[in-house]
């Protein structure tokens, strides 16, 4: 039996953009949470992120029995694999849509996907949206950014300070839908009562430090989504902003 989690999500167009190409999902029945940050002209990003969220939900629901029947003391790698398959299912649908409508060619989206089931978190991830874990006063970035700057940072070619102001910091190296299939990171980890899990687009984590995100979430819990977005807007709001905060019982 799944323990009930609490969660809230919100998105905002920001102060500069004319349209919101972010999308998110908070499904408290299936404990399914998604953030997608679309990209592409002619409304392509908006279309890609919307398809991504819808198709992930559809794919996960088609495997509902597997998730509901699972129980155990250790995470099941098959469940994480299903989430990775869900992202590639969405990638295929986005790619096919772009073939049907040439104006949408080249569209894509990030996707960070989380399920929380009986003491374990399952995640699948593509792009530079993020999953954070806040536990006992500390914040941990769980996902790796699939971005040019992140790769250079991990290789020791640039410093963290240089990464923050790099002119190509928004260039991602993996996206959902740009091609039929993408290399998806998927994994699982144990949760603890009181854990906070934060999914967000780069419009948020690009404006707030990890400590600022942690402080607001520890103070306000799931309701922090609104303060997080307000703070990102106060910092410039030059991108769409999305946050989902999940509290583990």
pLDDT digits (tens, 9 = 90+) for 17-56: 999 999 999 999 999 999 999 998 778 999 999 999 999 9
Residue 7: the pLDDT is: 99
Averaged confidence pLDDT in the chain = 93
Is 70 exceeded by the pLDDT of residue 2?
Answer: no
Q: Tens digit of pLDDT for each residue in 193-202?
A: 999 999 999 9
DSSP state, residue 169: T
3-class secondary-structure state, position 244: strand
Is 50 exceeded by the pLDDT of residue 128?
Answer: yes
Is 50 exceeded by the pLDDT of residue 1?
Answer: no
CA distance 141 to 143: 6
CB neighbour class for 74 (10 Å; exposed up to 12, middle 13-18, buried from 19) = exposed
Instruction: Report domain extents, the chain.
Output: 6-247
Q: Give 1 or 84, the one with higher predicted confidence.
A: 84
CATH fold of 6-247 reads: Phosphatase 2c; domain 1 (3.60.40)
Residue 202: the pLDDT is: 96
Helix boundaries (H) for 17-175:
44-62, 64-69, 77-100, 148-154, 160-165
Residue 119 corresponds to which tokens in the numbers above?
Answer: 């003491």
Mean pLDDT of 141-159: 88
Is 80 exceeded by the pLDDT of residue 69?
Answer: no
Q: Give 238 or 2, the one with higher predicted confidence.
A: 238
Mean pLDDT of 172-196: 96
Look up the pTM and report it. 0.94
- Percent of the chain exceeding pLDDT 90 equals 80
Q: Which of 31, 28, 1, 45 is nearest to 202 (CA)?
A: 45
């Amino acid at each position: 039996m799944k323990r009930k989690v609490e969660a809230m999500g919100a998105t905002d167009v920001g102060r500069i953009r004319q349209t919101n190409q972010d999308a998110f999902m908070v499904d408290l029945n299936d404990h399914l949470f998604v953030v997608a940050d679309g990209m592409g002209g002619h409304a392509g990003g908006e279309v890609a992120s919307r398809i991504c969220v819808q198709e992930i939900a559809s794919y996960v629901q088609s495997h509902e029995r597997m998730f509901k029947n699972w129980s155990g003391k250790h995470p099941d790698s098959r469940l994480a694999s299903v989430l990775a398959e869900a992202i590639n299912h969405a990638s295929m649908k986005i790619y096919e849509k772009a073939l049907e409508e040439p104006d949408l060619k080249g569209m894509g989206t990030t996707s960070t996907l989380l399920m929380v089931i009986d003491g374990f978190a399952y995640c699948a991830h593509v792009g530079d949206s993020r999953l954070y874990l806040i536990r006992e006063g500390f914040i941990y970035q769980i996902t790796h950014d699939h971005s040019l700057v992140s790769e250079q940072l991990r290789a020791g070619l640039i410093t963290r300070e240089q990464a923050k102001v790099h002119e190509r910091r928004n260039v991602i190296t993996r996206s959902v839908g740009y091609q039929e299939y993408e290399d998806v990171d998927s994994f699982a980890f144990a949760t603890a009562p009181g854990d906070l899990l934060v999914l967000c687009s780069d419009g948020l984590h690009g404006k707030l430090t990890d400590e600022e995100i942690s402080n607001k979430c520890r103070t306000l819990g799931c309701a922090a989504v609104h303060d997080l977005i307000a703070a990102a807007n106060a910092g410039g709001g030059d991108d769409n902003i999305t946050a989902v905060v999940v509290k583990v019982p």
